[in-house]
């Protein structure tokens, strides 16, 4: 197995340039006689979560980390029914359900990969989204990874690493992530041969893989997805492995597709169902699950966002100009045209797309694209269309719509509407860093300096950057008296948040000392 076959399942391949250094600045080589994780017990749920938070903190800062609300909303539409099914079936206990993050993180990486991290964080590469053709295929990979977390496979593996401090494991995982994205960086990221040896042992066993297949399949079908997606995804990966040995499919390095695994999955399919489920243009099997068209549009978005070669964008624009272009072609063409600076063409393709999309969800993805294009620098002014989309978005519930609606409100001189929608949103989603960042801008536009500075602090806290949050809360307290006293309620919140954040920093320091 390759180095990248760490405890991350199936293989890390994301987030290059992750800062793998432990936060306390010690280097693994300089720390002999490390205190142990525990006494032969599995890592506790709380300890696993703290370890995951520490890894997440570094990932949030990585340039390959992508907070894309459109893709994020789509992944949640797959993820939430899977998680609900896992809870119903007792695969995810109430304790795990409550204490782990269950958060999906998107990476810009083009390689085909998804992996579980400690603490219930899950990485999904753009490359995986780009190659899947149906929601069921993506759901099968997510269900498999979720099952590793639910079965506490990570905690079990970690308990084999008694001699390693959690911060050291965290930096090792981050090193492996960087190495997966950039093999040349492996040596620099992973210090010392003992870490490499330890990493070899932090790998899911074959039994764990089988268990994740079995439970993942149950979770996926329990959520209402067509179980054929599981077998199809295996088939797709197997075919890809024959055609492609370029390392673009790190998933295969750690998930060898033995005929045994495929046969095992096929045996689970009910005989009565047809050999293959509906294709990309079919209706969803159940209410609420994503449609094939929605998947095709989001997958097109992932392809364009993952592509750095502008000649490919030009190809996609050309394809979209054909009169029989499909919705996914129009989506890829419109977004590619925008990236090439062809704003008018981008909008023209996006309008053709909006006329073709059917179903609320796919139409929502098309409307979000239209807003994104209208809000981008140099876009032709279409005030009537922007106002119509803005009003619909501000009344919508999806994160992408709320974020785009707020930006449209600011762009059209309605910062107050943006503020009130974003404030309501952050009450329900206090860890939404993007919403806080937009609140900074909206408050600034209205001259609410204290609120803007506090929102900036919250944006940092949302990504576990406690130092950055504290710095801003102190700055808020140091504002001129006139600005502070104009808003006594906000000032009281700032004072209380500063105490919370200081407590977080003390906890983190104590964690480091213990180890
Ligand atoms: Zn696995």
Pair of tokens at residue 258: 């033995």
Distance CA 319, CA 325 (A): 7
* CA–centroid distance, residue 148 to ligand 1 (Å): 7
CA of 454 to the centre of ligand 1 (A): 41
233 CA to middle of ligand 1, Å? 13
Return the sign of the alpha-carbon dihedral for residues 91, 125, 244, 254.
negative
Chain centroid offset of residue 99 CA: 19
For residue 142, how far is its CA from the centre of ligand 1 (angstroms)? 10
Give the H or E element holding residue 66.
Answer: strand 65-66
Q: What mean pLDDT is predicted for residues 395-412?
A: 97
pLDDT exceeds 90 at position 102? yes
DSSP string, 379-419: PPP-HHHHHHHHHHHHT--SHHHHHHHHHHHHHTT-HHHHH
The alpha carbon of 408 and the centre of ligand 1 are apart by a number of angstroms equal to 42
CA of 125 to the centre of ligand 1 (A): 15
> Taking residues 51-56, what's their average pLDDT?
90
pLDDT band at 274 (very low <50, low <70, confident <90, very high): very low
Decide if 370 contacts 347 (C-beta within 8 A).
Answer: yes
For residue 143, report the distance from its CA to the centre of ligand 1, in Å: 10
Query: CA 375 to CA 363: how far, in whole Å?
Result: 18
Judged against a pLDDT cut of 50, whether residue 11 lies above it is answered with no
pLDDT above 80 (res 186)? no
- The Å distance, Cα 1 to ligand 1 centre, comes to 14
User: Does pLDDT of 156 surpass 70?
Assistant: yes
- Maximum distance among all Cα pairs of the chain, rounded to whole angstroms: 74
Extended strands (E) in 84-147: 103-107, 114-116, 121-125
pLDDT score recorded for residue 262: 72
CA distance 511 to 22: 12
Question: What residues does the ion ligand 1 have nearby, CB within 5 Å?
Answer: 9-10, 209, 212
Sign of the torsion formed by the C-alpha atoms of 331, 334, 338 and 344: negative
Bridge partners of residue 9, in order along the sequence:
116
Arithmetic mean of pLDDT over the chain: 82
For residue 194, name the pLDDT band (cuts at 50, 70, 90).
very low
pLDDT reading at 466 higher than 80: yes
202 Cα–ligand 1 center, Å: 13
Q: How far is the CA of 377 from the centre of ligand 1 (A)?
A: 42
Range in 26-30, 129-133, 295-299, 490-494 with the lowest mean pLDDT = 26-30
Contacts (Cβ under 8 Å, ≥6 apart) of 390: 371, 405, 408, 409, 412, 414
Distance (Å) from CA 161 to ligand 1 centroid? 19
How would residue 6 be classed by pLDDT, with cut points 50, 70 and 90?
Answer: very low
Task: Tell me how far the alpha carbon of residue 136 lies from the centroid of ligand 1, in angstroms.
Answer: 17
Q: Is 124 helix (H, G, I), strand (E, B) or coil?
A: strand
For 224-245, what is each residue's pLDDT tens digit? 999 988 888 877 776 665 554 4
Give dist(CA 206, CA 451) in Å, integer. Answer: 52
Calculate how far, in angstroms, residue 9's C-alpha sits from the geometric centre of ligand 1.
5
Please give the C-alpha separations between residue 434 and each of 66, 398, 439, 462, 472, in angstroms, as whole numbers: 11, 14, 9, 9, 17
pLDDT digits (tens, 9 = 90+) for 482-501: 888 889 999 999 999 999 99
Instruction: Kindly report whether the peptide bond that precedes residue 10 is cis, defined as omega within 30 degrees of 0.
Output: yes
Q: What is the pLDDT of residue 248?
A: 54
Distance CA 90, CA 84 (A): 10
Model confidence, pTM = 0.84
pLDDT score at 143: 95
Q: In this prediction, what percent of the chain has a pLDDT beyond 70?
A: 76
Give the model's confidence band at 384: pLDDT under 50 very low, under 70 low, under 90 confident, else very high: very high
Measure Cα distances from 84 to 20, 74, 97, 143, 365 in Å.
Answer: 34, 16, 10, 11, 24
Q: What is the pLDDT of residue 387?
A: 97
pLDDT of residue 160: 65
**Amino acid 272: pLDDT:** 40
Q: 91 CA distance to ligand 1 centroid (A)?
A: 16
For residues 458-471, average pLDDT: 97
- Here the tokens at position 126 are 């753009």
Check residue 191 and give its pLDDT: 37
Instruction: Identify the pLDDT of residue 264.
Output: 75
Q: Does residue 472 register a pLDDT over 60? A: yes
The stretch 403-408 carries a mean pLDDT of 98
Determine the distance separating the centroid of ligand 1 and the alpha carbon of 325, expressed in angstroms: 37
Rounded to the nearest angstrom, the distance between the alpha carbon of 36 and the centre of ligand 1 is 27
Specify the higher pLDDT residue, 179 or 305.
305
Q: Which of 291-295, 332-336, 385-389 has the lowest mean pLDDT?
A: 291-295
Confidence of residue 310 (pLDDT cuts 50, 70, 90): very high
- Average the pLDDT over each of 134-143, 158-167, 382-391 and give the range with the smallest value: 158-167
Distance (Å) from CA 22 to ligand 1 centroid = 27
> Would you say the C-alpha torsion 262, 267, 269, 273 has a positive or negative sign?
positive
Distance 139 CA to ligand 1 centre (A): 14
Instruction: Report pLDDT digits (tens) over 118-142.
Output: 899 999 999 999 999 999 999 999 9
Q: Is the pLDDT of residue 95 over 90?
A: yes
- Distance in angstroms (rounded) separating the CA atoms of residues 304 and 175: 27
Q: Where are the alpha helices (DSSP H) in 398-487?
A: 399-411, 415-428, 433-445, 449-462, 466-477, 481-485
Cα 299 to middle of ligand 1, angstroms:
23
Say what the pLDDT of residue 343 is: 96
Q: What per-residue string of b and e applies to 387-396 under the rule 16 or more CB within 10 Å gives b? A: eebbeebbeb
Percent of the chain at pLDDT > 90 equals 59
Distance (angstroms) between ligand 1 centre and the Cα of 8 equals 8
Average pLDDT over residues 397-421: 97
Beta strands 114-116; 103-107: pairing state: unpaired
The candidate with the shortest Cα–Cα distance to 366, out of 298, 268, 416, 430, is 298
Distance in Å, CA 122 to ligand 1 centroid: 12
Q: What is the mean predicted confidence (pLDDT) over 393-407? A: 97
Q: Compute, in angstroms, the gap from residue 317 CA to the centroid of ligand 1.
A: 37
Can you give the pLDDT at residue 288?
Answer: 72
């Amino acid at each position: 197995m390759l180095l990248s076959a760490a405890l991350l399942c199936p293989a890390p391949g994301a987030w290059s340039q992750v800062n793998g250094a432990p936060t306390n600045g010690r280097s693994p080589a300089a720390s002999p006689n490390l205190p142990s994780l525990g006494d032969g017990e599995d890592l506790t749920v709380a300890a696993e979560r703290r370890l995951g938070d520490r890894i997440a903190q570094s990932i949030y800062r990585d340039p390959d980390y992508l907070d894309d609300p459109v893709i994020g909303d789509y992944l949640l539409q797959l993820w939430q029914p899977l998680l609900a099914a896992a809870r119903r079936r007792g695969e995810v206990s109430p304790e795990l359900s409550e204490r782990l993050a269950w958060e999906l993180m998107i990476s810009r990486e083009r390689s085909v990969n998804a992996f579980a991290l400690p603490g219930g964080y899950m990485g999904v590469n753009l490359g995986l989204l780009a190659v899947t053709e149906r929601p069921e295929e993506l759901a099968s990979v997510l269900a498999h990874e979720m099952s590793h977390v639910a079965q506490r496979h990570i905690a079990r593996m970690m308990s084999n690493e008694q001699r390693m401090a959690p911060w050291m494991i965290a930096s090792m995982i981050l090193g492996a992530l960087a190495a997966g994205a950039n093999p040349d960086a492996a040596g620099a990221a992973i210090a010392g041969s003992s870490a490499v040896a330890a990493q070899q042992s932090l790998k899911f066993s074959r039994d764990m893989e089988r268990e994740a297949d079995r439970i993942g399949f149950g979770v996926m079908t329990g959520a209402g997805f067509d179980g054929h997606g599981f077998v199809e995804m295996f088939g797709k990966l197997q075919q890809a492995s024959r055609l492609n040995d370029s390392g673009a499919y790190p998933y295969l390095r750690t998930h060898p597709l033995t005929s045994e695994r495929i046969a095992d999955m096929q045996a689970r399919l009910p005989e009565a169902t047809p050999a293959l489920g509906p294709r990309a243009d079919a209706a969803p099997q159940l209410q609420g699950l994503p449609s094939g068209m929605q998947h095709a549009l989001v997958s097109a978005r992932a392809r364009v966002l993952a592509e750095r070669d502008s000649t490919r964008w030009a190809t996609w624009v050309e394809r979209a100009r054909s009169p029989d272009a499909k919705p996914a072609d129009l989506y890829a063409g419109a977004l590619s045209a925008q990236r090439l600076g062809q704003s008018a063409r981008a909008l023209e393709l996006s309008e053709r797309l909006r006329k073709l999309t059917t179903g609320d969800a796919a139409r929502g993805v098309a409307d979000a694209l239209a807003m994104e294009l209208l809000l981008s620098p140099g876009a032709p002014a279409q005030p009537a269309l922007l106002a119509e989309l803005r009003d619909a978005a501000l009344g919508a519930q999806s994160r992408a719509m709320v974020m785009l609606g707020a930006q449209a409100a600011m762009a059209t001189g309605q910062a107050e509407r943006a503020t009130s929608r974003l404030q309501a949103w952050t009450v329900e989603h206090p860890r939404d860093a993007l919403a806080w960042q937009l609140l900074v801008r909206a408050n600034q536009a209205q001259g609410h300096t204290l609120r803007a500075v506090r929102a900036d602090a919250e944006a940092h806290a949302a990504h576990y950057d406690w130092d950055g949050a504290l710095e801003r809360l102190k700055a808020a307290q140091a504002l001129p008296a006139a600005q502070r006293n104009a808003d006594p309620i906000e000032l009281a919140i700032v004072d209380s948040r500063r105490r919370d954040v200081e407590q977080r920093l003390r906890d983190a320091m104590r964690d480091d000392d213990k180890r």
